[in-house]
Amino acid sequence: MKAVPLSAALALTALAVCAPVSAATQPVRAERVTLTNADNGHTVSAHKGDDVEVTLTGYRERGLTFSWSVPASDSAVLRRTAGGTTPRGTATARFRAVKNGIAALSAQRRCHADQGHLCPLVVTPWKVRVEVK
């Protein structure tokens, strides 16, 4: 076996460590877009592979609970991967951007009254437009 000078061995090691990673082995870009009650009516951008997380906070006052429905998408652009509600009226959902296009996320807030209380007959919509590029 032929001896390699130490400086040459170190140079080869540095090249191997610092060499650029090919596009085929680079990790897939995955970002998170977080939406809340305050994003109602907004348009947001996402990229294919991103997660879009929605948390709509409900509330309770004077024998009334104002609860959100689980957010839904009107398009195959965003696929829901999780969703649920809490007894205090909060709803959450997570979507994965699976293809380029435009999707609307929507939910509704409704009142639920305790016994002896009356709710206003109002349904509050929440809607966000998501552009996946």
Which pLDDT value is given to residue 28?
54
Residue whose C-alpha is closest to residue 98's, from 23, 28, 26, 27: 28
Q: What angle do CA 69, 31, 124 make, to 5 degrees?
A: 20
Find the mean pLDDT for residues 32-40. 97
Residue 20 has pLDDT above 60, yes or no: no
Q: Where are the domains of the chain?
A: 25-132
Which pLDDT value is given to residue 8?
47
85 has which bridge partners? 91
Q: Domain 25-132 adopts which CATH fold?
A: Immunoglobulin-like (2.60.40)
Q: Which tens digits make up the pLDDT trace of 46-72?
A: 999 999 999 999 999 999 999 999 999
Which band of pLDDT confidence, cut at 50, 70 and 90, is reported for residue 75? Answer: confident
Find the mean pLDDT for residues 6-21. 44
Residues belonging to the chain: 133
3-17, 83-97, 114-128: lowest mean pLDDT where?
A: 3-17
